[in-house]
């Protein structure tokens, strides 16, 4: 697949004012629809598959997966209530394929082993997945030969000497703990049994997905304008990690 195909759904969605307005109120960070579409383009997704969308927030990734690929998605999140997502999925007409559910990934998941073809997660895994235990705890839920695909914000390169000076006014210690580089994440995943290949790379949509987020009236987006101006393309990345399960 060519790079120019990787965001066709998102670009079409954003070609109407309704689409733009919908995204403005449902984005919770860099445009998750765009990130999901790019990451999904690296997976062989068939319409009879079942996907766990872990940390789905307001469900932009679930929407993309259902509408573009026709898969069944469990839209699992901690901060956004399943009732809110159910109302949104009904309004979008995808409630038969997108099943909202409340989970805390740090406390274990309420699913059968080998239930999912793909575990998909956008802009959430860095909150709960930084331990050596998390990936091994998730592998059993995915069928052998299935995929765990995660996209997260992080550093282009792990900064030597801590947070760069110009970012310090915006970055709390808690934020900093969640930020790591592609190399750091690949190293963490490499220590895990039960996965075969790891594709770890920076995503092409980094700049555009952040720019789209900053158009949102969400107070968190307004607050992020300062850090994105200070960062100016020098430090941040969106990292894609894809592993194939082997047990």
Contact partners, residue 233, CB within 8 Å, separation at least 6: 207
Assigned token pair, 103: 């989970």
CB 89 within 8 A of CB 116: no
CA 90 to mean position of chain CA atoms: 22
* Of 23, 32, 135, 148, the one binding ligand SAM by CB under 6 A: 32
Counting contacts by CB under 6 A, is residue 117 touching ligand SAM? no
Site for ligand SAM in 208-237 (CB under 6 A): none
Counting contacts by CB under 6 A, is residue 243 touching ligand SAM? no
Closest residue to ligand SAM in the complex (CB): 57
Rounded CA-CA distance 217/221 in Å is: 7
* Of 106, 144, 145, 247, the one binding ligand SAM by CB under 6 A: 106
Stretch that binds ligand SAM, among 63-71, 119-127, 167-175, 184-192 (CB under 6 A): 119-127
* Of 49, 66, 103, 149, the one binding ligand SAM by CB under 6 A: 103
Assigned token pair, 110: 């309420």
Counting contacts by CB under 6 A, is residue 146 touching ligand SAM? no
Rounded CA-CA distance 28/60 in Å is: 10
Q: Residues 138, 65, 22, CA angle at the centre, nearest 5°?
A: 115
Provide the binding-site residues for ligand SAM, judged by CB under 6 A. 27-29, 32, 55-57, 60-61, 77-80, 103-106, 122-124, 127-128
């Amino acid at each position: 697949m060519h790079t120019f195909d990787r965001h066709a759904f998102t670009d079409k969605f954003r070609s109407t004012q309704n689409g733009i307005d919908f995204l403005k109120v449902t984005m919770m960070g860099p445009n998750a629809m765009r990130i999901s579409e790019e990451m999904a383009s690296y997976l062989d997704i068939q319409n009879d598959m079942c996907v766990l969308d872990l940390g789905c927030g307001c469900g932009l990734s679930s929407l993309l997966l259902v509408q573009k690929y026709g898969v069944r998605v469990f839209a699992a999140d901690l901060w956004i209530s399943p009732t809110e997502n159910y109302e949104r999925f009904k309004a979008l007409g995808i409630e038969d394929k997108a099943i909202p559910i409340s989970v805390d990934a740090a406390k274990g998941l309420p699913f059968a082993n080998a239930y999912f073809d793909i575990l998909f997660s956008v802009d959430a895994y860095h909150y709960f997945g930084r331990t050596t235990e998390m990936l091994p705890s998730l592998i059993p839920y995915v069928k052998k030969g299935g995929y765990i695909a995660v996209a997260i914000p992080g550093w282009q390169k792990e900064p030597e000497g801590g947070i760069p000076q110009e970012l310090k006014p915006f970055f709390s210690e808690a934020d900093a703990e969640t930020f790591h580089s592609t190399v750091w994440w690949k190293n963490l995943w490499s220590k895990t049994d039960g996965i075969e290949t790891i594709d770890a790379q920076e995503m092409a949509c980094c700049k555009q997905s952040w720019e789209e987020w900053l158009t949102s009236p969400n107070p968190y987006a307004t607050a992020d304008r300062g850090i994105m101006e200070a960062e100016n393309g020098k430090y941040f990345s969106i990292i894609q990690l894809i592993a194939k399960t082997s047990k």
